[in-house]
Each structure stands twice: as structure tokens, then as C-alpha cells.
Amino acid sequence: MATVFTNHWLLRKIFYRIEDLFTNPSNPSFNAQRPTMEIPTGAYNVSVEMALNSRCTSDYDGNQYKFHWGLFDDSKTISDDQIKEIVDLATVPHFTNERVQIRNAQNILSFVIDGEKQGLIREHMMIESGMQQQAVGLVCSALGVGMAFNSFSKDGRTISNADYENIEIKLNPMKPSHGTSYWTDIPPDEDKSLRRDNLSNPLRNGNKNLLSALRELRGENPNGQIATQESIGQLLWAARGRTPHLYKSKPWGMTIPTWGGEQNITSVYLIFGGILSRYVNWRWNGWAHSIESLREVGEELQAELYNLLPPHNCLIVLGRNEHFARSYWEVGYQALNLMLQAKSLNLSYRLLLVNEKQKDILLKIGIKDPAAALFTTHA
């Protein structure tokens, strides 16, 4: 695969903006006799890590450096049965007993929740909807299908007295978008002289295929293995790590989608050994894979926290940095990735959507607006 990160991304971005001023937007030209796409060989065996590393959104401009990295294929069509299969495969654990659903109209998936619910339960439904959105994106990554978000506002929209629509996802065939392949296990390109990471390089291909991991996934695994320093780093990468695709010419690729490339909607924190740290994936104008210590956590607060879920002693917390609903969806993206990676590594874990009592403790520790947390046991 050709180098995708260069030191000239900003010049390229400026060039494309100027180009857009003098050219009309291109629209796909569909042939009514288009053949149905075929799922590529090996798709059903793509690992959790490979799907995370390969995921991207798509468009029709035919230029990976200009806007979205993925390349929609307008010479083919996607069948109703293929769309149904994607939705059926995109299963997630349920943390609420409320209506959080995916509706399908042709090739547009609509993510809808019960619009009458409010307060903490509504927040949890938003996170669960984010998990569903991410599950669809990862299934598309594995099956070689293109996807793109149709957004309405940062909070979604009311569509009836009973229904609230968070976002839509459009599905269409995709061309191989990582060289000649639909998938890649390479890291982002880099200037190694700038890297000062304190976490081991993450694995970008593993032994557990994504589709079976989704099918078997639960909100907890009490009988898994104890986490190591390497597996904690792997969890952090899965939640919010850097991947090799570009967004608007810039190396913004991550294991999760972003709203317009915005990078600070949420944050990922680690609490272990009496230290609160934050995961860092960008530093010195390049990708990173590090934790940054923020403060010590006193013994009294540690005891108060870990008494919630003994015997776990390590906590990854997903916190919001704004008050729009989209931040809950992004928490959901990261929460699903954490569970999938823990499943792939067969770690002991439990994921929770925090209640008010748990939120108060995490606020006292120093986390801004905590929304979800994954507990595990570190050696």
C-alpha cells in the first residue's frame, strides 16, 4: 500500500478546498442493470482487530485523500438480503430494557430510540444506540461494504410523538480501499523520530473473528484472564486508537468514526494503581499510543470506587467533553470496541453505563462527565 501519511497533508487539504470552489460536485451515475455486489473471500474470518484497523466511511468522489477514505462502488448494488444480513450481524449487548432499534428503508438504516424516555435512562439508550451504529460500521468493515453517516443535528431529531432518530447510515457497495484489499493490518505512516509512546504497539490483527465475537458478546465475562500491561494498551487502542486512513486529507483515522473530524468530543481515562491517566492518541502533529498521568487517586476514593465491583482493580472510563447527544453515541462506539477487544483477548471484564452514584465518585476522582466504564483485573 502506498504511503498515506505525508508531511504535506495541510497543503493537500488547502488545494482540494480551492479546487472545490471551481468545480461542480460530482454525483454517481447509476446503471439500472448494475450487478449485486459479492461479499469478498475471507470476509467472515476478519478478526476484531483487523476490522477496527480497516474501518472507514465512504463517498463517491473517487479520491481517498480529499474527503472520506472509503470508495463507494457505483457500478454495483447491494441487495435487500445483504442489508438484512448486516443488520442481523450487528448485534450488541443490551444494557437497558428500552426500545433501541435499527430500522431499514432500502439502503438507509435509521437508529431510533423511544422518544418519551428522559433523564439517565435516555442517556443510556443513546449510548446503546451508539453501540448499534458502531456494530454496523464494523460489520461493514469486515464484509467489504461501504457506509456513510447522514446526520441531522448534534442531538438527532424527533420524528414522531414516540420516536427519536439519532442518525442514519447509508450502505452501498465499496471498492477495495486499502490498496488492493478491503482490509489492512498496517499502522499509520509515521515519522519515528517524533514517537515517544509509553504503550506497546497494538496488534492490528488477531485470532478472534469479528462476527463470532459480536454474536457471543456479553456485557461481562467473569471467567476470563487477568489483564497485562500489553492487553490494557490494546484495550485503549481499540477504544480510540489511530488507524491508517485519512479524513479530509488529514491523518485523523481512528477505530471509531468522528463527527466532522472533531477530536475532543469524548476522552478515554485509565484508573489503576492509584493513578488517574488519560489515553493520548495524537501528539506533535502525529499519531500516538500513550497514557498521560493526571493525578493521584487517594486510598479512600479508590476504596469507594472498587467496592462497586470487586474484585476488579483496573478501570477504563469513557467521559464526555460536551453536552450534545452525539457524545453519547461516541461513548457507545468506544464501549462496544472495548468489549469486543476484551472478548478477543478473553479478558475478565464488566462494562457498565454509570448511574448517578457511580458518576459522583468518578467526578470526585477528576473525570469530566463520566458516562461508561469497563472494569477489569490487572496483574
pLDDT at residue 15 in the model = 58
> Burial level of 186, CB count in 10 A (0-12/13-18/19+)?
middle
Q: What is the pLDDT along the chain (379 residues), one digit of tens a residue?
A: 334 444 565 566 555 555 555 556 566 766 668 999 999 999 999 999 999 999 999 999 999 998 999 999 999 999 999 999 999 999 999 999 999 999 999 899 999 999 999 999 999 999 999 999 999 999 999 999 999 999 999 999 999 999 999 999 999 999 999 999 999 999 998 655 456 689 999 999 999 999 999 999 999 999 999 999 999 999 999 999 999 999 998 899 999 999 999 999 999 999 999 999 999 999 888 899 999 999 999 999 988 888 877 778 999 999 999 999 999 999 999 999 999 999 999 999 999 999 999 999 999 999 999 999 999 999 8
Q: What CA–CA distance (Å, rounded) separates 250 from 218? A: 35
Q: Quote the pTM value.
A: 0.93
Q: Which CATH class is domain 220-376?
A: alpha beta
pLDDT at residue 192 in the model = 56
Q: What CA–CA distance (Å, rounded) separates 112 from 123? A: 13
pLDDT at residue 102 in the model = 98
Query: Could you give phi then psi for residue 55, rounded to 5 degrees?
Result: -65, 140
What kind of fold does domain 9-175 have according to CATH?
Answer: NADH Oxidase (3.40.109)
Cβ neighbors of 238 (< 8 A, separation 6 or more) are 48, 49, 52, 202, 255, 337, 338, 340, 341
In three-state form (DSSP H/G/I as H, E/B as E, the rest C), the secondary structure along 18-58 is HHHHHCCCCCCCCCCCCCECCCCCCHHHCEHHHHHHHCCCE
- In the chain, where the domains are located: 9-175, 220-376
Same fold, 9-175 and 220-376: yes
